[in-house]
Chain A
Amino acid sequence: MIKGILNNYEEAVAVILFVAGLGMLLFRRNLIMKLIGMNIMDTGCFLFLASMGYISGRKAPILTALPAQGTDYVNPVPAGLVLTGIVVSVSVTAVMLSLSVRLYRRYHTLDIDAIYALSKHKLEDR
């Protein structure tokens, strides 16, 4: 198994990035750090997808010599999927950041535990 991982080092690093991003999403309490973790998860996904399409020794899929042979170029399909994914990732980040701005305006803290606690309890008058 170690030999397999060393052969596919790029996919292994992509998977480690995914789990690291998931860990940041679960363990950090600050809202902005959670969002950075989500972005790292996204880029780990993209790295994994696009590295499945790379074939060593071949060129980028810009067809310079027509008629084109299929064995001269890198697989273009995963690149198309990742292109859509990158833009969707920035959209989700923008929506989450606007939500965190509104949360901060209401509760004046970025700590998710404090927000949860404040939203559930009513303070008694001392």
Chain B
Amino acid sequence: MKDLLNRWLDGEFDAFERMPELQEGYDISLDRKHELERSAAERIESLPQTRQIAEKERKAFHLWYVIAAFACCLTLALVFLYMTAHITAYGRENPRAEAIADRYIERGTEETGAVNAVAGMILDYRAFDTLGESHVLFTALVVVMLMLKLDETNTRKDREDYYRVRFEKYYPTDKDPILRLAGTLQGSFILLFGIYILLNGHLGPGGGFSGGAVLGTGLIILASSLGDADIDHFLTEKRFRVFTASALIFYILAKGYVFFSGANGLDNHIPKGTPGAILSAGLILPLDIAVGVIVACTMFGFYSLFRRGGIGGDETDD
């Protein structure tokens, strides 16, 4: 036992997979599993070697670290407070920033067609920044997938147990009727609200990010109250990938060349419509929908990866 503990502490294998008591058999209940892992963790933490090594490292370095960190924070605080005392007063207008803001507001509606000046700014005048931000979201989803996705190399080698591990064993679905009813009602209204915010991004407050975040939380409520089996029928892994990738590719094709061409983009050839109608503002509505889909799928992907180790089911489950 001690030799196995030492080998684990040296990093030879992953703790959750190879603890000797957990190899009792497959029919071990979830509570018992939690108990065994918790007791193993406490045993590791209370090993005298762990405590001694941690304490020795801590003492040698700790005093200098505390003094330096405290000095750094204090200096930063004083410098920042000195700076805030000398900028323009809060609530007054800044004469140096007036030119850009006036241009965006006065010529905003005729050049972009959007009534919401902020949405018109981030999706038309500064669409390249939003493209970069969509890439950040996509990259974060890929990194979390790298860290947390369960597949054959992370779980036990038996194929039957792989499915049970991934779908039923660790996170059992709930069949509670009250939960299902409440989740369905809430989820439908939240999804409807999210679609409303998305479609009205250029007419009022809202836009791609807000609408996408609300859509994502609606999907999360549906997924957590209806259980995994029902959501997997709707959002399989292939559909998820197709949604995210196609939204991002659409945005790249629509606005990726603006870096080189400046204001002579595709927008000048699309009719702007009347400001105040939903089908107006040129390319802003499709771009809003693309950003909303990316944000919603990213939020749902984070939830699904943290909870189950995978997004959606396989196509063989349909």
Contact = CB atoms under 8 A, between A and B. Distances in A.
B81 A87 contact: no
Contact of B104 (A76, A95, A113, A118): A76
A18 to B, nearest CB: 7
The DSSP consensus for interface residues of chain B is helix
Contacts of A71: 102
Interface string B47-66: 00110011011100000001
Nearest to A122: B10
A97 B56 CA distance: 28
A36 interface: no
Nearest to B114: A63
The winner among A27, A51, A76, A95 for most chain B CB atoms within 10 A is A76
A96 B105 CA distance: 38
B278 interface: no
A1 B105 contact: no
Instruction: Give the contact-size bracket for chain B.
Output: 35 or more
Given A55-B91, A77-B101, A123-B49, 6 more contacts: A1-B81, A67-B106, A70-B98, A95-B143, A114-B50, A123-B6
Interface of A: 1-5, 7-12, 15-16, 18-19, 22-23, 26-27, 51-52, 54-56, 60-64, 66-71, 73, 75-77, 79-80, 83-84, 86-88, 91-92, 94-95, 97-99, 101-102, 105-106, 108-109, 111, 113-114, 116-123, 125-126
Interface of B: 2-3, 6, 9-11, 14-16, 40-41, 44-45, 49-50, 53-54, 56-58, 66, 69, 72-73, 76-77, 80-87, 89-94, 97-98, 100-106, 108-109, 115-118, 121-122, 126, 129-130, 133, 136-137, 139-140, 143-144, 147-148, 204-205, 207, 209, 213, 275, 295, 298, 302, 305-306
